[in-house]
Every structure is written in C-alpha cells, then in structure tokens.
Amino acid sequence: MGRRKIEMKVVKDTSCRQVTFSKRRTGLFKKANELATLCGAEVAVVVFSPGGKPFSFGQPNVESVADRFLKQESKPNRDKAAIAAAVPSKNKKNNAAAAAAAAATAEKLNQQLNEQVKQLQDEKKRGEALDKEIAAGEKAAPIDIGDLGFEDLKKLKRSLEELREKGKERVGEIEASSTLLMLSKDFRG
C-alpha cells in the first residue's frame, strides 16, 4: 500500500484515531530528536493521547526545557547587531558595520557552542568516573555496620544518599536512552 494524502480532519473511528495518534506521535518525537541533534536545540514536546495519557520527549529533558521557557524574560527589542546583519544596505559603511556585527554574533555563538561541547565532555568523564566508582564499590569488602561508630554511620548515610541520587540520575539517563533507542527501532522497522 502506497502513501496517500490524508485529509486534515478528526478521525472519527476511535481505534483508527488511536493508531493514527501512535504513529504520528513517534514521527513527531523523531522530528524533535532530529531538530535537537542537527541544530543543537533544546526541544520539549508534550502530547496527550485521545484517552488522556500524557507522552513527552525532551532534549536534554522536558523539565529543563520547560523551566527555561517559563523563566525566559520577554525581550521587546531584538538584538540590533542581528537586525543590522539581516538587513542589506546600499551604503558600504553600513555593510561593513553589518558584516562586523554578523561576525561578532557568529563569534558569540561559536563560544556558546564550545562551552556546550566542553560541558558534554565533562559529563562524559563524570559518567565514566561514576561507572568506575560503582565497579570499585562492587569489589570492596563488605562492612559490618555493628562495628561502626556514630560518626561513621553518619558518613555512611551521606554516602548512601549520594549514591541514591547518582543512581536516580543514571536511571533518568538510561530511560532517555532507551526511549530514543525504541524510537529509532520503530522508524527502522
């Protein structure tokens, strides 16, 4: 069966509507992932199924993108350099100023990109260090809690709480990766 143009109106049959929703949702999430990957954009998509069940996709995650969106200050005036660079001018001096502004904007964006790449590398190193700590912790000798003093127990408690937080972060990363993996398998299959 080939592709055909579908009229844009509500699908009346509830089972067909659910199938359409599922297929379109995965397509939407795939496009959002491509946008985030290709453009380095932060993307969040939240949709509710016809049955009211929520689905979301976020890069790096929905919460951070939503927080950033909600806390964003309104900017009534656009960046003058960006406007000058976008508007062609007949005057050579204005063209030079526009080119300089465009170069400054490009430099600023380049710096932001470099900072993001550095953050990514730092996070990868941090993840590798955490993996090593976990592997080392598995090899450590068991501790008899009865032999520990009050201060040692407090330290152990703090360590366990830190481990729990790191575990939660890791679970979030794994869930995000598995979601992307499932999405990529859906589109290949």
pLDDT digit string, tens, across residues 65-95: 888 888 875 444 444 444 444 555 455 556 6
The model's pTM: 0.38
For residue 45, the SS3 value is: strand
Q: Which residues of the chain have pLDDT under 70?
A: 1, 73-96, 138-143, 184, 186-189
Under a CB-based contact definition with an 8 Å cutoff, are residues 57 and 30 in contact? Answer: no
Map out the domains of the chain with their CATH numbers: 8-72 (3.40.1810.10), 78-140 (no CATH)
Helical spans, DSSP H, in 40-149: 62-71, 80-86, 92-139
CA 41 to CA 30: how far, in whole Å? 14
